[in-house]
Amino acid sequence: MFDPTELEIPIIQAPMAGGPATVELAAAVSGVGGLGFLAAGYKSPETLDAQLSRLRDLTGAPFGVNLFVPQPSPPVAGVAAYRAELAAEAEHYGVALPEPDPTDDDQWAAKIELLLQRSVPVVSFTFGAPPREVVDQFHNRGTCVITTVTDPTEAHTALTHGSDVLCVQGPEAGGHAGTHSPTAEPGTATLPELLAAIRHMTDVPLLAAGGISTGSDIAVALRSGAQAVQLGTAYLRTPESGANDTHKEALTDPAYTTTVMTRAFSGRPARGLHNRFIAAHDATAPAAYPLVNQLTKPLRAAAAAAGDATGLHLWAGTGYRNSSTVPAGSLTRQLWEAAQPVYPHDHAAQ
């Protein structure tokens, strides 16, 4: 079974759903001794299956696939009002808003079955701890199970359900917070504080995630008790990234000066560059994932097609200014080399 302490380079590419985490990006990071990830979220099982085949053609190195744990039935209070509020956005972009589907579980069962059949090396879970029976099924296939956690309570649940590794996500992370409850607000404890608190609970390997974008950041995370680090925003501008050009350009645009947590685009807290859409709708967006995500999908697609960053979900962690256009494999090596002067220890010996 995969063990993150055995990575040649203890850097993991975050499984950024919605397009950025391409097959080529995962292959590049895994190919230099890190761990690349595919995102199963928002994809059909058929698309995921084709990507798995392509990834195995590109590299024989270990890789991971991330799944979204199905959410409890979302509260519908406020969704109709938010849909009415977004009507002006829909008119502006010339699109129609869908009727939200509260039964959407992102084809959970079919994707679980596919990954079991494929015997993938690593499967990670976000938005909750997978049921014990699912974890046992993956263990029977020799698959390492990672669960994203944002506080010690979530860590306890993940460990009780049998997770092999915990991905400890701090509040600086770009994109969705991995809180297990869709209505919960992300905590404010720093990543080193979270790592220390969870390290006291368990000896399983910990991955550090959230705002990590430099060698110094990597060293701090490893010194705080992590065995490896997970980076997402750092890879957004690489040639292998599937992020759209408007998103990539916004990361260096001086007009965007800060990141904020918002529910405006999906109904779940997510960190992105503050723009017009967030300013207009953050205060009224209900805590109703995935219904809000469904509502804004055509708006986001239209904004991307128009190159309109003001209406786009510009997910980014707090270290977004350090994102690089260097090829992903070279970037992975450079980041690890930059970390070693301040963290000159053998990471596998922790």
pLDDT digits (tens, 9 = 90+) for 274-310: 999 999 999 999 999 999 999 999 999 999 999 999 9
pTM of the model: 0.95
CA–CA gap between residue 112 and residue 118 (Å, rounded): 10
Would you state the pLDDT for residue 186? 92
Does the pLDDT value for residue 260 go beyond 60? yes
Residue closest to 33 by CA, chosen among 2, 7, 59, 70: 7
pLDDT digits (tens, 9 = 90+) for 49-69: 999 999 999 999 999 999 999
Strands, DSSP E only, in the chain?
11-13, 36-39, 63-68, 122-126, 144-149, 165-169, 175-176, 206-209, 228-231, 259-262, 270-273
Over pLDDT 70: what percentage of the chain?
97
Does the pLDDT value for residue 146 go beyond 50? yes
| Contact status, residue 169 vs residue 264, Cβ threshold 8 Å | no
Q: What domains, with CATH codes, occur in the chain?
A: 4-70+105-235+323-349 (3.20.20.70), 73-104+252-315 (no CATH)
pLDDT digits (tens, 9 = 90+) for 153-180: 999 999 999 999 999 999 999 999 999 9
Sheet with 206-209, strands from edge to edge, namely: 11-13, 228-231, 206-209, 165-169, 144-149, 122-126, 63-68, 36-39
Average pLDDT, the chain: 95
CA–CA gap between residue 58 and residue 39 (Å, rounded): 17
